Amino acid sequence: MQTHSLVPHPDFPPGLVHAVTARITPDGEWLRLRWRIEGAYKLVVPPFAGKGRADGLWQTTCFELFLQPPGEPGYVELNLSPSERWNAYDFGSYREGMAERAFPREPSCTMRKGEALAIFDAAVPASALPPAPWDYNLTAVIEEEGGIKSFWALSHPAGKPDFHDAACFTGTLAAADAA
């Protein structure tokens, strides 16, 4: 299990949200992910839409995982929404060759929100992902009431928010960790 404190992009500060942590846990047939949002008083949670693929999930509160085998140009992007919608994409290289990634079964997504704290859990079928080792990036787009959007990641490159940038892929998961 690896837990990370995400950092907001400096050009898009959050409102009341003051911390986002993310955890990645390989668990046999599943990869378990958890995001914890502190200061979630005005967090916008997309309404329940039922399981299924959807595009544009990042336009409101959404959680993402990017995986890249070390030394490879290609990577996988996984988008997970509190609405239970999701999507997964393969890229041949930086923002090039995008195609939907096949999944043997849908991820499970669960959002719990209290007054000041929200927790988003996801279980992703491990068989849908490339085999470890990986470099990875855990991210969150956080929307708060009033149209405030902040972009959280393990790291940010200079310039605008770009979760696809290799500078963001600072997490590592060894092959032995995935067993």
CATH architecture of residue range(s) 2-178:
Sandwich (2.60)
How do beta strands 117-125 and 108-113 pair?
antiparallel
* Exposed e or buried b per residue across 33-56, where buried means at least 16 C-beta atoms within 10 angstroms of its C-beta: bbbbbebbeebbbbeeeeeeeeee
How do beta strands 99-100 and 117-125 pair?
unpaired
Evaluate whether 74 touches 89 at the Cβ level (below 8 Å). Answer: no
Give the pLDDT confidence of 58-99 residue by residue, as tens digits.
999 999 999 999 999 999 999 999 999 999 999 999 999 999
Question: In the beta sheet, which residues pair with residue 57?
Answer: none
Question: What distance in Å separates the CA atoms of residue 117 and residue 22, rounded to the nearest whole number?
Answer: 14
Question: What distance in Å separates the CA atoms of residue 22 and residue 20, rounded to the nearest whole number?
Answer: 7
Task: Indicate the domain borders of the chain.
Answer: 2-178
What's the whole-model pTM score?
Answer: 0.94
When pLDDT is cut at 50, 70 and 90, the band that residue 179 belongs to is very low
Give the pLDDT confidence of 100-141 residue by residue, as tens digits.
999 999 999 999 999 999 999 999 999 999 988 999 999 999
Radius of gyration from C-alpha coordinates of the chain: 15
- In this structure, the number of other CB atoms found within 10 A of the CB of residue 81 comes to 26
Evaluate whether 150 touches 16 at the Cβ level (below 8 Å). Answer: no
Tokens of 45: 């949670």
The C-alpha angle 56, 83, 154, rounded to 5 degrees, equals: 65
How do beta strands 85-91 and 52-53 pair?
parallel
Give the pLDDT confidence of 14-66 residue by residue, as tens digits.
999 999 999 999 988 999 999 999 999 999 999 999 999 999 999 999 999 99
